[in-house]
């Protein structure tokens, strides 16, 4: 039973939802299912004109996309010392593609790294990304990932991300608050959402610990939705979960939220 009055809106993360469909068809499927927006991971194999056509046809907005991960086994380039040229090429690629399809944000992926040289590389690459993104009216997101799924990933906690955001003090540098990752790493999500709110650019959801639909597991999402409503959060929440079957068969939670 939900207890919130303000409806949250939801964005389908097409990196996971309808991942078996070509991206334009996944956008159409998200619209048919009742999502309010879409987001993706790595759309680069699809011509941006095809994505744009599907967005126009459905009236949905693509909220964001990721920079490429790099070589096989890598998970981003921007905190890797000595890889600045590749990191910036990845940032340029994401911003150009994102701008063309009207996406508001690019998630700059840090990669597997640690230590002072990684800190410096990440800061320099974020300054570069934010300056270019500002010229395009876009936001740069950084996202802590949990250490079970991404052991050794540079960004591990919201605390670390907020420290970077506050130190760099760039108006278009924001936190991707993925409830799934942050529940695993830090918990205390209600207080953490409140504390991080000024720095949050996007919120994502999935069940914990299995990263399924947000209707089971250790997080009670109706509470999170209500809490976000009290904080005045009104951007669509990114449904970034791994369907345990055909995506359309996993959407009871969305239909329930639309009914409340």
Ligand X SMILES: O=C(O)C(=O)[C@@H](O)CO
Site for Mg ion in 119-178 (CB under 5 A): 178
Q: Which stretch binds Mg ion (CB under 5 A): 122-130, 192-200, 225-233, 235-243?
A: 235-243
What is the closest distance, in whole angstroms, from the C-beta atom of residue 239 to Mg ion in the complex?
11
Q: Which is nearer to ligand X, 2 or 147 (CB)?
A: 147
66 binds, among ligand X, Mg ion, none (CB under 5 to 8 A by kind): ligand X
Contact pick of 158, 204, 247, 250 for Mg ion (by CB under 5 A): 204
What is the closest distance, in whole angstroms, from the C-beta atom of residue 167 to Mg ion in the complex?
23
Per the structure block, which two tokens stand in for 176?
């991707």
Q: Total residues at the site for Mg ion (CB under 5 A)?
A: 3
Site for Mg ion in 237-256 (CB under 5 A): 240
* Chain residue whose CB lies nearest Mg ion: 178
139 binds, among Mg ion, ligand X, none (CB under 5 to 8 A by kind): none
Q: Which is nearer to ligand X, 6 or 151 (CB)?
A: 151
39 touching Mg ion, by CB under 5 A: no
Three-class secondary structure of residue 225 per DSSP: helix
Rg (CA), the chain: 17
What is the closest distance, in whole angstroms, from the C-beta atom of residue 129 to ligand X in the complex?
15
Active site residue 117: no
Q: Where are the beta strands (DSSP E) in the chain?
A: 10-13, 37-39, 64-66, 105-107, 139-142, 173-178, 200-205, 237-239
Active site residue 240: yes
Cα–Cα distance, 203 to 183 (Å, whole number): 13
Q: Which is nearer to ligand X, 113 or 259 (CB)?
A: 113
List interacting residues with ligand X (CB under 6 A). Answer: 41, 66, 107, 143, 145, 178, 181, 204, 240
Q: Which residues of 163-185 are buried (b: 16+ CB within 10 A; e: fewer)?
A: ebbeeeebebbbbbbbbbbbbbb
Dihedral of alpha carbons 224, 225, 231, 233, sign: positive
Q: Among residues 86, 114, 143, 257, which one is catalytic?
A: 143
- Reference 101, options 147, 144, 62; nearest CA is 62
Per the structure block, which two tokens stand in for 63?
């909220």
Cα–Cα distance, 125 to 140 (Å, whole number): 11
The answer to whether residues 259 and 1 touch, using CB atoms and an 8 Å cutoff, is no
Per the structure block, which two tokens stand in for 145?
């990932």
**Under the rule (CB under 5 A), what is the footprint of Mg ion?**
178, 204, 240
Catalytic residue ranges: 143, 240
């Amino acid at each position: 039973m939900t207890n919130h009055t303000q409806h949250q809106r939801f964005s389908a993360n097409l990196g996971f939802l309808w991942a078996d469909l070509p991206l334009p068809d996944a956008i159409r499927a998200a619209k048919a299912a009742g999502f309010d927006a879409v987001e993706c991971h790595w759309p680069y194999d699809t011509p941006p004109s095809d994505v744009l056509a599907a967005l126009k046809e459905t009236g949905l907005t693509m909220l964001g996309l990721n920079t490429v991960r790099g070589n096989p086994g890598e998970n981003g380039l921007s905190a890797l010392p000595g890889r600045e040229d590749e990191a910036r090429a990845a940032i340029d690629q994401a911003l150009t593609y994102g701008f063309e399809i009207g996406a508001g944000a690019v998630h700059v992926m840090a990669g597997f790294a640690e230590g002072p040289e990684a800190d410096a590389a990440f800061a320099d690459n974020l300054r570069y990304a934010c300056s270019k993104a500002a010229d395009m009216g876009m936001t740069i997101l950084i996202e802590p990932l949990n250490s079970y799924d991404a052991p050794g990933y540079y960004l591990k906690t919201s605390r670390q991300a907020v420290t970077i955001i506050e130190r760099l003090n760039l108006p278009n540098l924001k936190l991707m608050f993925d409830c799934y990752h942050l529940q695993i790493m830090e918990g205390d999500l209600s207080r953490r959402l409140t504390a991080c709110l000024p720095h949050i650019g996007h919120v994502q959801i999935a069940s914990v610990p299995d990263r399924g639909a947000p209707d089971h597991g250790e997080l009670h999402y109706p509470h999170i939705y209500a809490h976000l409503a009290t904080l005045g959060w009104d951007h669509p929440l990114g449904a970034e979960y791994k369907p345990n079957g055909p995506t359309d068969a996993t959407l009871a939670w969305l239909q329930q939220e639309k009914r409340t």
